[in-house]
């Protein structure tokens, strides 16, 4: 997979050089290119924003630099191919595990994290005439820009690519992924020592009975989901729990 990111803060994307994404890049599983939007400005001040038409607070990102940046990105990719443009925005569709799975199936993603009050709408409209566009939000809160959202989305997508997660880290039991743990939050995890500050590990986890351990983990995940995400539990019916138990 190729990933392009255009930002006025390219240094914000440095975390894409480390850990899971950094290792995937080093192994050639991901080809990531970060671009500085100001490289497509032509004035001495390298201007990327201006006041909003119609008035209102803040500034809006000018269309010209974005248009030239997207032209350049398209020109650098595989001949005859276009990326899926992913636009982080609080007004986008929720970025969910399902959307991460969908985007993980694309060969080329281009992210356009904005700042200020966002990008002139005409940029997105013009881009949509030549590539798929996905406007997505990572959550119901307002950030100061889209770079953090790109880090979240890229990590969530990268870990789903074949070979990126080792077997030991399989995303088979991911929350929200299809299968027995779908719509379930992760339950508690434990490691050595068996006793720490007077607190012990649940006996079931030391039993070696893998069937019962799996069932206990699902029960714990269900209880945690009930406590913290009742909205997810609404998708369940009791029968499903037993069915998922059989599927596991
Ligand atoms: C007061 N204004 C309102 C509009 C947005 C302005 C800041 N901003 C500019 C670009 C931009 C991109 C993403 C996000 C963002 N916020 N929350 C999320 N889940 C996001 C995502 N993905 C925020 C952003 C602040």
pLDDT (tens digit per residue) in 93-112: 999 999 999 999 999 999 99
Residue % of the chain over a pLDDT of 70: 90
Question: Which of 111, 82, 137, 106 has its CA nearest to residue 16?
Answer: 111
Q: Which letter, b or e, does each residue of 114-147 get, where b requires 16 or more Cβ atoms within 10 Å of its Cβ? A: bbbebbbeebbeebeeebebbbbbbeeeeeebbb
- HSE, CB side, 13 Å, CA atoms: give it for residue 219: 7
Q: What residue owns the CA closest to ligand 1's atom 4?
A: 117
Residue 3: enclosing H or E segment and its boundaries? Answer: strand 2-7
Which position has the higher pLDDT, 88 or 247? 88
129: pLDDT strictly greater than 90: yes
Question: Which of 232, 208, 2, 200 has its CA nearest to residue 96?
Answer: 232
Q: Categorise residue 247: left if φ over 0, alpha if ψ from -120 to 50, beta otherwise.
A: alpha
Residue 52, classified by CB atoms within 10 Å of its CB into exposed (0-12), middle (13-18) or buried (19+), is middle
Query: Rounded to whole angstroms, how far apart are CA atoms 35 and 231?
Result: 39
| pLDDT value at residue 241 | 60
Predicted confidence (pLDDT) per residue in 193-232, tens digit: 999 999 999 999 999 999 999 999 999 999 999 999 988 8
Interface ipTM above 0.85: yes
* Distance of CA 17 from the midpoint of ligand 1 (Å): 24
Q: Tell me which residues are annotated as active site.
A: 90, 117, 159, 174
Ligand 1 nearest atom to the CA of residue 119, by list position? 10
56: pLDDT strictly greater than 80: yes
| Cβ pair 233, 225 in contact under 8 A | yes
Query: Rounded to whole angstroms, how far apart are CA atoms 93 and 137?
Result: 6
* Distance of CA 30 from the midpoint of ligand 1 (Å): 26
- What's the mean pLDDT in 29-42? 98
Pocket of ligand 1 (CB under 6 A): 88-90, 114-115, 117-118, 137-139, 141-146, 149
pTM: predicted TM-score of the whole model, two decimal places: 0.93
Query: Rounded to whole angstroms, how far apart are CA atoms 177 and 219?
Result: 17
- What's the mean pLDDT in 168-182? 66
237: pLDDT strictly greater than 90: no
Contacts of 154 (CB under 8 A, 6+ apart): 3, 5, 16, 21, 32, 111
């Amino acid at each position: 997979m190729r990933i392009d990111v255009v930002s006025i803060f390219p240094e914000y994307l440095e975390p894409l050089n480390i850990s899971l994404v950094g290792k995937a890049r080093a192994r050639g599983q991901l080809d990531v290119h970060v671009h500085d939007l100001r490289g497509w400005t032509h004035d001495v001040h390298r201007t990327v924003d201006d006041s909003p038409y119609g008035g209102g607070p803040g500034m809006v990102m000018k269309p010209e630099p974005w248009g030239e940046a997207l032209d350049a990105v398209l020109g650098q990719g595989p001949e005859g191919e276009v990326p899926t443009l992913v636009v982080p925005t609080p007004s986008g569709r929720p970025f969910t595990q399902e959307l991460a799975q969908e985007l993980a199936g694309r060969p080329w993603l281009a992210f356009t994290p904005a700042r200020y009050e966002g990008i002139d709408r005409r940029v997105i409209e013009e881009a949509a005439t030549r590539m798929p566009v996905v406007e997505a939000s990572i959550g119901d809160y307002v950030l100061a820009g889209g770079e953090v959202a790109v880090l979240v989305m890229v990590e969530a997508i990268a870990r789903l690519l074949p070979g990126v997660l080792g077997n030991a880290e399989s995303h088979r039991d991911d929350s929200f992924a299809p299968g027995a743990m779908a719509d379930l939050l992760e339950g508690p995890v434990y490691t050595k020592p068996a006793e720490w500050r007077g607190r012990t590990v649940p006996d079931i986890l030391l039993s070696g009975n893998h069937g019962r351990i799996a069932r206990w983990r699902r029960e714990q995940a269900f209880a945690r989901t009930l406590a913290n995400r009742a909205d997810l539990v609404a998708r369940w019916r009791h029968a499903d729990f037993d069915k998922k138990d059989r599927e596991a």
